[in-house]
Structure 1
Amino acid sequence: MKQINSLEQINSLIDTREPVLVYFSGENCSVCKALKPKIEKEVLKNFPKFELREIKVDLYKEIASSFSVFSIPTIVIFFDSKEFKRYGRNISVSCFIDEIKRPYKLFTE
């Protein structure tokens, strides 16, 4: 995942209308570090059109607060420049993938 370091950067990416996954994590978050490669692998395998980005909330608190992210890890999915779904803390990778399949297909075909 590419790192985001400014609010303008993430907003311009969301405005492209492409599917975007934003992964909010922290430097000292063991759950974040364990979950990230699993999410990344499954999303790249199942949803190749997604733009994957990561925001380290301990470094960029203003970005996290502008997206109302107050716990980590948090995943925010955007379709057509709008927030579609938000996942936080206890995330099942298989359930996550299953929930995204139908809207991904609708927005990308």
Structure 2
Amino acid sequence: MKNVCSEEALSELLESSPAVLLLFGGSHCGVCQAIKPQLEKLGSEEFPKLMTAYIDCQGAAGPLCAARGIFSLPVVQLWLEGQRFSEFARVFSIGDVRAALVRPYGLLE
């Protein structure tokens, strides 16, 4: 999972990758730290073209999170061809993320 700390790095990632999963989390957020490896595994095993990125809202990327309107953790955003198509905040399951990815991801192949 790639770490992103700036708006420039995030914009570059979204422009260069056809499918992106963003995890907005924090080092002091237990749920964030628990789902991070599960989302990495989901991407690597089931969606190999999916680029996963982690944005630490409680660290250096705080201003980026505020600018993007992220005020509660965790938040997962799914992007396809530079457009956000789904977002999950606070209470969700890995299954919810998987279900949201299946059809749009299939269009990439």
Assess same fold via TM > 0.5.
Answer: yes
* Number of residue equivalences: 108
Q: Structure 1-normalised TM-score?
A: 0.92
What secondary structure sits across from 1:15 in the alignment? Answer: helix
CA-to-aligned-CA distance 1:40-67 (integer Å, 9 cap, x gap): 1112111100111101001212111222
- Following TM superposition, where does structure 1 have runs of at least 4 consecutive aligned residues deviating by more than 4 angstroms? none
CA RMSD of aligned residues (A): 1.1
Contact 1:23 1:54 in 2 (8 A): yes
Match of 1:94 in 2: 95
| TM-score under structure 2 length normalisation | 0.92
Separation (CA, whole Å) in 1 of partners of 2:68 and 2:87: 11
Gaps of 5+ in 1: none
Partner of 1:41: 41
User: Aligned equivalents of 2:4 and 2:54: distance in 1?
Assistant: 6
**5+ residue gaps in structure 2?**
none
Residue type matched to 1:93 in 2? I
2:58 counterpart SS class = coil
Residue type at the aligned position of 2:81 = D
Task: State the Cα distance separating 1:37 from its structure 2 match.
Answer: 1.0
**C-alpha distance in 2 between matches for 1:12 and 1:38:** 25
Cα offset for 1:95?
Answer: 2.3
**Equivalent residue of 1:38, what SS?**
helix
Structure 2 partner of 1:65: 66
CA–CA separation in structure 2 for the residues paired with 1:74 and 1:86: 7
- 1:61 and 1:94 map into 2 onto residues whose CA distance is 28
Q: Is the CA contact (8 Å cut-off) linking 1:5 and 1:55 kept in structure 2?
A: yes
Counting only pairs closer than 5 Å after superposition, residues 1-109 of structure 1 correspond to structure 2 as 1-59=1-59, 60-106=61-107, 108-109=108-109
| CA gap 1:2/1:90 in 2 versus in 1, 3 angstroms | same
